[in-house]
Amino acid sequence: MNIEQLLILNQKDLYSYILKQIVGLPHTLLRDKWLVVNVDDTPKPMLCAHLDTVNGGHYNLSKDDIIQKDDIVSLLPTSKARCLGGDDRCGVYIALKLINDIKRGVVPQDKYSFGFFFDEEIGGVGSYDYSTDERFKVEQHTAFIGLDRRNAVIGKPEVASYNYDSEELFTVFDAYQYDVGSFTDCAVLSEACNVACVNLSVGYNHEHTTKEYINQNDMLFTYWQLREVVFSEDVYTYTDTYSKYHTSIEADEIPCEVCGVHEKLYKVFDEECYDTLQVCESCATFIHNEYNY
């Protein structure tokens, strides 16, 4: 399946599709809010992706909404969708390609486990449910790697930190630039245990907006990095005082509390979190539309 085909599935249909793709891989755990694959007694990094987009149940994307020119996938100007949905169908695409590689014997089976989570966009519902499930075992995970980060600039991949930082884990991804993120599923899992996380850019940009696009070269760059990268067999534990890679952020620059972008922020009340958030314009628009303010 190509990225365009993944974009037009809602998260329930995507969940069903993934179930078909993992046939032959052992050690699958699932609930209605999450699906984890290849989690066993061999500790390994977990690759995390979420199944929802901010289109939610408001609009079902079709092939008629999508345009591709060279390596760029975007929305047609006439589309009624809120966004393209590369956030996070790009992450799902990469994870599924690696699962296929494991099934074909191209990637070792003990290299990764995989977590697919519902409803990240409304507060990490699926990842939180997994982290509190009795089957969640800390000793099975050496790191959490989110596939849920924008490429702010084409051809310049980023790795984001979430205060669950490990210098050793950062250095694994030496081809990436470093930045600070705000929220994603891997941070939810790290919060539940002393295991570090990072979030890798996967080729989309301008997420949560009609201007969102996917650069397929950037998406495939991260796929190839994950195929070839070598991890330590030890657990990547974190320290919340580690800040070497935070120096590019000015002291008075605060990231959007939803997507982590650094730009003009707005204060909005989010009924899902029942709290006031400082968010960028695109996330403020999404929250406004979600609750019909």
**What tens digit of pLDDT does each residue of 166-201 get?**
989 999 998 998 888 878 999 999 999 999 999 999
Per residue in 33-48, pLDDT (tens digit) is 999 999 999 999 999 9
Report helix, strand and coil shares of the chain as percent, to nearest 5: 30, 25, 45
What percent of the chain is predicted at pLDDT more than 70? 83
State both tokens at 29: 């755990």
Is residue 239 very low, low, confident or very high in pLDDT (cuts 50, 70, 90)? confident
**Model confidence at 218: pLDDT above 80:** yes
**For position 97, what pLDDT does the model report?**
97
What DSSP line would sit under 156-204, residue for residue? Answer: B-EEEE-S-B-HHHHHHTTTSEEEE----HHHHHHHTSS--EEEEE-SE
Distance CA 121, CA 149 (A): 13
**For position 247, what pLDDT does the model report?**
42
Report the mean per-residue pLDDT for the chain: 86
**For position 266, what pLDDT does the model report?**
60
Average pLDDT over residues 134-142: 95
**Model confidence at 281: pLDDT above 70:** no
Q: 148-182 as b/e, with b when 16 or more CB fall inside 10 Å?
A: bbbbeeeeebbbbbbbbbbeebbebbeebbbbbbb
Distance CA 248, CA 41 (A): 39
**Model confidence at 223: pLDDT above 90:** yes
**For position 1, what pLDDT does the model report?**
78
Distance CA 268, CA 69 (A): 36
**Model confidence at 293: pLDDT above 80:** no
Contact (CB, 8 A) for 111 and 38: no
**For position 248, what pLDDT does the model report?**
42
**For position 51, what pLDDT does the model report?**
96
Q: Which domains does the chain have, with CATH numbers?
A: 3-245 (3.40.630.10), 250-290 (no CATH)
Average pLDDT over residues 120-144: 94
